[in-house]
Every structure is written in structure tokens, then in C-alpha cells.
């Protein structure tokens, strides 16, 4: 199964009609673990889809994230980042160079929240910030 088909399956699984644009964006997110912004996605797809508009990218990302087909990350306060990997994992952002990594996390589901009973929890985001290996050594 090629990556286009995998992307299509994800869309269908979440009840989203697989238009050409949506497929391209979904496929892009599943193939790039760079946690791109809407702008990055647009710039990368535009050369091969010259009619694509930024509005469509924004619309599509909002739709996909709203349906749960992708994750929308707010770890970077400037731009929303998107992640095609919807499995449980944490994120790390370097405060110096801005690089953004996935972090595998043990026990992310086992975090105990007191008084959680009253709330219906649907999402959990775990964000770490600090300095990446390269930047860490440059701190004076």
C-alpha cells in the first residue's frame, strides 16, 4: 500500500471526503515528522499543486484536526504546528533554535489527575521545553 492510499484510509476512517487537496495534505503530514506549520505545508506542496491556495490549507488542517485525523500542537506560541502521528507521544521544543522533536513517553496514559471525575477528557498534550543537544553546549 503506497502512502497516498494510507492517507486516504486515514481520511475515510475519520469520515472526511478525500479530495485531491485533502489527500495531498494528509499524505504530506504522514510522510513528514517535522511538525510543519500551515505555511510550510503550503510552500512544500505548491510547486506540485500550483492551484493550491493557503486558504484551503488552513481549512483542511482545521477540518482534519477537528475530526481527530491529525494533531494540532500549540507548543510553539507563534504558529500552530501539525502532526500526522496521532499516537500517544510527547513533544520537545528547543527554546534557542526552535527545533521540535517527538519524545516517546512511558506512562503518559497513567498520569493521575485528581478530581478528573467531573471532566470528560478527550485530549492530552505533554510539552517539554529546554535546549537541544547542540544548543545546550553553546549556553554560556
Partner DNA sequence: CTTTGTGCAAATTCTTTGCACCAAA
Partner DNA sequence: TTTGGTGCAAAGAATTTGCACAAAG
Q: Which residues bind a second copy (CB under 8 A)?
A: 72, 74-77, 80, 90, 92, 95, 103-108, 110-116, 118-133, 136, 139
Closer of 50 and 112 to a second copy (Cβ): 112
Of these partners, a second copy, DNA, none, which one is at the site of residue 136 (CB under 5 to 8 Å by kind)? a second copy
Give the angle 42-52-2 at the CA atoms, nearest 5°: 75
> DSSP letters of 24-54?
HHHHHHHH--S---HHHHHHHHGGG-TT--H
38 binds DNA (CB under 7 A): yes
Residue with cell 485531491: 20
Give the angle 89-93-96 at the CA atoms, nearest 5°: 170
Shortest distance, position 140 Cβ to a second copy, whole Å: 14
Q: What is the binding site for DNA (CB under 7 A)? A: 17, 19-22, 37-39, 49, 51-56, 58-60, 62, 78-80
Amino acid at each position: 500500500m503506497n502512502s497516498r492510499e494510507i492517507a486516504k484510509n486515514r481520511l475515510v476512517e475519520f469520515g472526511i471526503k478525500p479530495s485531491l487537496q485533502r489527500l495531498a495534505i494528509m499524505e504530506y503530514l504522514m510522510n513528514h515528522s517535522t511538525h510543519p506549520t500551515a505555511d510550510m505545508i503550503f510552500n512544500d506542496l505548491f510547486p506540485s499543486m500550483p492551484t493550491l491556495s493557503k486558504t484551503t490549507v488552513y481549512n483542511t488542517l482545521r477540518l482534519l484536526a477537528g475530526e481527530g485525523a491529525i494533531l494540532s500542537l500549540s507548543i510553539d506560541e507563534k504558529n500552530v504546528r501539525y502532526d500526522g502521528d496521532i499516537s500517544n507521544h510527547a513533544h520537545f521544543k528547543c527554546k534557542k533554535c526552535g527545533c521540535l522533536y517527538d519524545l516517546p513517553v512511558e506512562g503518559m496514559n497513567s498520569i493521575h489527575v485528581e478530581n478528573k471525575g467531573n471532566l470528560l477528557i478527550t485530549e492530552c498534550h505533554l510539552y517539554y521545553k529546554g535546549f537541544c543537544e547542540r544548543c545546550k553546549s553553546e549556553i554560556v
